[in-house]
Chains A and B, each alone.
Chain A
Amino acid sequence: MFQEKDFNRLIQRTLLGGVFLSVFLVSAGFGLSLAGAPSGPGLLRAGILALILTPVARVVMLIYGYWRTGENYFALASFVVLAVLIVSMLAG
């Protein structure tokens, strides 16, 4: 049974996962740039992208979580947020 506690943990892990991945890539990017490695800037770029996409992943997890708990109104609300988010990302 998917409960409120599991839901909160899912959202927490998604957000922390995104932040830690970003910190890891940004630090590696800085380190390699300082060492003069050509892959440094690419990793830095990937780290910033991972950070920016973290809230998007969180909204996707909200849709999944509310669908699992059967709260369809909130799943729909999350879906509307995701749709607006994607449109403004691609059209801006």
Chain B
Amino acid sequence: MFELTALNSLALLGFGSAIGLLGSVLGVGGGIFMVPFLVLVFEIPIHQAVAASLAAIVATSSAVAAVNVERGLANIRLGIALEVTTALGSVAGALLANRLSGAAVQLLFGLTLLPVSVLMFLKGRRALRHGPAASGPRNAKVSSFDAAFYDPAAGGHTNYEVRNMAPASGISFFAGSLSGLLGIGGGVVQVPVMNLLCGVPMKAAAATSNFIIGVSAAASAFVYFRRGLMPLELTGVIVTGVLLGSFLGIHVLYRARSEKLQIIFSALTLLVGLKMLFGVL
């Protein structure tokens, strides 16, 4: 049985802050790192680790989205449209969970992430060398998903069009089903979909992904809570740490350059992809 002491509470607070910072800057929940860390380092039973990690994702998502919505970084219309297919996908994933081999899905997912990582890296590097693509002010919005935000790193407003919504919705369905099949939040899929496929700038993609992932995490977290599997004290400490890190991360995201975030995200995608592959092989 895991006992909270002053020492491990401090360690959990610190770890939670790091995950909150990572999550708020890159738009991922961080469950993929948090669960193994809690299990291996703190020897917390896997179900409790997953439950605490889901609550932590809800905390990052809610705190960060609150500020990003106000700043116009999170694109609510795009978020809700992708949430529909993600939510339907998560139901499909839960229904398919007994029929599909988890290892096969993990292998497919791991392999897909490797080229995604390369594409994110190349896009970030090209923009760093040649400067970001020009985005002058436009008079009329082309679709209701198009948006703009003030970017202090670019020193002005960044307008963007949202392209390829149909394939993006399809992939979000897949991302949602992954959360049902593999128990991951899906931010690592949503961010590249928005950035590479829809043409959303990295900062807005990370902010919108953060907006999306809280909903599916809340649904799963509630199931653990209702069944009495949520470790309350442990979750309370981790959530506090995650919130501290998230509020710090909001400022980092606001000031950071999209291209640099793209390169950091490509490293994260590579790490998650390799972790998935090594988990199977």
Question: Which residues of A does B touch, CB under 8 Å?
Answer: 7-9, 11-13, 15-16, 18-19, 22-23, 26-27, 29-30, 33, 41, 44-45, 47-49, 51-56, 58-59, 62, 71, 74, 77-78, 80-81, 84-85, 87-89, 92
Given contacts A55-B62, A77-B81, 15 further A-B contacts (CB under 8 A): A8-B69, A16-B63, A48-B236, A49-B225, A51-B59, A52-B222, A53-B218, A54-B214, A54-B218, A56-B218, A74-B81, A78-B80, A80-B88, A92-B219, A92-B223
A15 CA to B217 CA, complexed, in Å? 15
A11 CA to B66 CA, complexed, in Å? 7
Please judge, given known A-B contacts A48-B239, A52-B221, whether A85 and B87 are in contact too, CB under 8 Å.
yes
Question: Which residues of B does A touch, CB under 8 Å?
Answer: 55, 58-59, 61-63, 65-67, 69-70, 72, 76-77, 80-81, 83-84, 87-88, 90-91, 94, 144, 214-215, 217-223, 225-226, 230, 232-233, 235-236, 239-240, 243
A89 touching B69, Cβ below 8 Å: no
- Chain A interface, >50% SS class: helix
User: B239 to nearest A CB, angstroms?
Assistant: 6
A9 CA to B219 CA, complexed, in Å? 24
Number of interchain pairs (Cβ within 8 Å):
131
A51 CA to B65 CA, complexed, in Å? 14
A66 nearest in chain B by CB position: B80
A55 CA to B243 CA, complexed, in Å? 15
Q: Which residues of B contact A71 (CB under 8 A)?
A: 144
16 residue pairs bridging A and B, Cβ less than 8 Å apart:
A8-B69, A11-B66, A16-B66, A19-B62, A23-B240, A23-B243, A29-B236, A33-B233, A48-B236, A48-B239, A74-B144, A77-B83, A78-B80, A80-B84, A85-B218, A87-B91
